[in-house]
Structure 1
Amino acid sequence: MEYLDFELPIKELAEQLDKCTIIGHESDVDVSETCKNIEKKLEDTKKEIYKNLTAWQRVQLSRHPNRPYTLDYIKALCGDTFQELFGDRGVKDDKAMIGGMGKIGDQTFMFIGQQKGTNTKTRQYRNFGMANPEGYRKALRLMKMAEKFGIPVVTLVDTPGAYPGLEAEERGQGEAIARNILEMFRLKTQIITIIIGEGASGGALGIGVGDRVYMLENTWYSVISPESCSSILWRSWEFKERAADALKLTSIDMKKNKLIDGIIPEPLGGAHYDKETTFETVKKYIVSTFEELNKKSIEKLIDERMDKYSHMGEYKD
């Protein structure tokens, strides 16, 4: 297990507990009471740390290297029923954006999401989860396929942003994202969006329009990352913690500002501490939300979708 800087007290206690357990197994000394005391202290320390997380600490948790990624969720939810689909029928297949059909129970869903890598080689292969225009066009092609066959869409958002390279701009990065947003507003099928990690800028919005938008507890969703915001305002990354607070990017802030529909709870310490529980919780949200949305006509869904986004940002003096 890898620990973040604010988790070092947990790391120390976990190491003490491991040593205590080893002593108990390798000697005749009864250390059961000592182990229980350390376990209790470890649990209390976890609760104390994780109930008082700052915005920046939640950003760090959303980027934890052990955190499950899009393919982890899809495999856990669908098992062997997932069939990945490739290509935008124009340029190439973007490995940072994945999509395909899979079943949860007897219901087929079209899953679309950004995929990050788990090591240096796969991160380069997946372009660190930063999609090119062909990735967003592939996503749109799959959404249109889902619409044609009446299949609900589930998008899993986890990206530091769309790829900002020259070649991406030459191939129409801005247009591709804008087109996706427009088409998702009027897509004639149910759309469920879940932020599972980072939700940065237009890279997230390109697959982020949904009838219901949820965020996992330790994720963030914002027009810009704290580091980039800090570098623009203060010409330095040193103020990233201050920027994270000001951006109001946590799930709690987003729910308070009525920009998302709900928060999906994570196990104590984050999704990576108990992946199976996280997968099961996400599965329940997807199934229950689809059952709710499926009771409404497509025309009513689109009207409600339009109204929801039209009212965002309204305020009274």
Structure 2
Amino acid sequence: MQNFLDFEKPIAELAGKIEGLRHLSDSSSDVNIAEEVSKLEAKADKLLRQTYAKLSPWQKTLVARHPDRPHCKDYIEALIEDYTPLAGDRAFAEDFAILGGLGRFRGQSVVVIGQEKGADMHSRVKHNFGMARPEGYRKAQRLMDMAERFDLPVITLVDTAGAYPGVGAEERGQSEAIARSIEKCLAIKVPLVSAVIGEGGSGGAIALAAANTVLMLEHSIYSVISPEGCASILWRSGDQAKEAAEALKLTAQDLETLGVIDEVIAEPMGGAHRAKDVCIAALGDSIEKHLQELSQFGGAELRQKRRDKFLEMGQKGL
């Protein structure tokens, strides 16, 4: 059964009516049920298009967090052949919030790294809701080192509310691990393409997204803090999360205008969760295009272009 968000209630009501009529299709009736279903489906489709044509930043935040949205594991399974997962940071432990390994992306050997939120309660707990600890970011560094050693492009998939803020994570050097991961992204001499597929939260996201090319799905978000966190700081209450989402400029469209990201990937009407295969294929096409473009540059030039890109962001507006 499809999960509808709060702002989709009118669409959900129409979907319920359609389902109810379909259950009556085998019973005798003077009403042409097929025709009525067709009319309601057209009405629901129109309403869906109208709703998604004018989503607010807060509504986009809800879509980015939709529980049925395709996650890192879905993209790896669909896009990466002969995927071999690699585990551990060789210092402390394995962190299931970050997946990573070797595989072939459309015929090309790559290293893929991504944040996995989990699809049900058991897997969400296992993957810590996509919130990595220091060992997760150190694992990412290890995999990027390996990619550079064997001259393999790196693909990262970003989907996290932020790095895990627990006491143990802080004791083991959470901020240092994030900073080192950002540094590693900027240092490697191989193509690095990053895609924000859901939430791109704070340093936990940029630790994997300081890339040559940063892509975002149409209804994903990317910000220095969550709307709720921002509201709790500025207004001392999470009730102003909608206003915070507006002020943060966290949508893909805003960030493309600001020059923070490089491309927005269109999602199926109603969000990626309504046609997962279509969305995954579209992102794959974009990643393939950008990897081909980056393949013409040497290692030193790739690194310099990546560094210049982020330095220019800091100089804008000065």
What is the TM-score with the length of structure 2 in the denominator? Answer: 0.97
SS at match of 1:215: strand
| 2:54 equivalent to 1:32 | no
Deviation at 1:145, TM superposition (A): 0.4
Structure 2: how far apart are the matches of 1:114 and 1:53? 26
Q: 2:123 corresponds to which letter in structure 1?
A: T
| 2:91 equivalent to 1:90 | yes
Partner of 2:9: 8
Change (3 A) 1:291 1:38: same
Q: 1:186 corresponds to which letter in structure 2?
A: A
Structure 2: how far apart are the matches of 1:186 and 1:178? 12
Deviation at 1:313, TM superposition (A): 3.5
Deviations 1:30-51 (A, max 9, x none): 3222122111111110011000
Q: 1:216 corresponds to which letter in structure 2?
A: L
| 2:279 equivalent to 1:306 | no
Match of 1:44 among 43, 46, 49: 46
Deviation at 1:208, TM superposition (A): 1.0
| Match runs of 1:95-134 below 5 Å | 95-134=96-135
User: RMSD over aligned Cα, in angstroms?
Assistant: 1.2
Partner of 1:70: 72
Percent of matched pairs sharing the same residue:
44
Partner of 1:237: 238
Give the unaligned 5+ runs of structure 2.
Answer: none
SS at match of 2:264: strand
| Match runs of 1:53-202 below 5 Å | 53-79=55-81, 81-202=82-203
Deviation at 1:316, TM superposition (A): 4.4
Structure 2: how far apart are the matches of 1:25 and 1:293? 58
Deviation at 1:196, TM superposition (A): 0.5
Structure 1: how far apart are the matches of 2:165 and 2:71? 22
Partner of 1:274: 275
Greater mean deviation of Cα atoms: 155-164 or 29-38: 29-38
Matched residues, number: 316
Change (3 A) 1:137 1:77: same
Q: 1:220 corresponds to which letter in structure 2?
A: I
Deviation at 1:24, TM superposition (A): 2.5
Q: 1:227 corresponds to which letter in structure 2?
A: E
SS at match of 1:313: helix
Do 2:158 and 2:205's aligned partners in 1 also have CA atoms closer than 8 Å? yes
Deviation at 1:28, TM superposition (A): 5.6
Deviations 1:72-93 (A, max 9, x none): 11001124x1110000000010
Structure 2: how far apart are the matches of 1:182 and 1:139? 12
SS at match of 1:207: helix
Structure 2: how far apart are the matches of 1:66 and 1:100? 24
Q: 1:275 corresponds to which letter in structure 2?
A: K
Deviations 1:124-153 (A, max 9, x none): 111111101000000000011011101100
Greater mean deviation of Cα atoms: 283-292 or 135-144: 283-292
Q: 2:40 corresponds to which letter in structure 1?
A: I
Runs of 4+ with deviation above 3 angstroms = 25-29
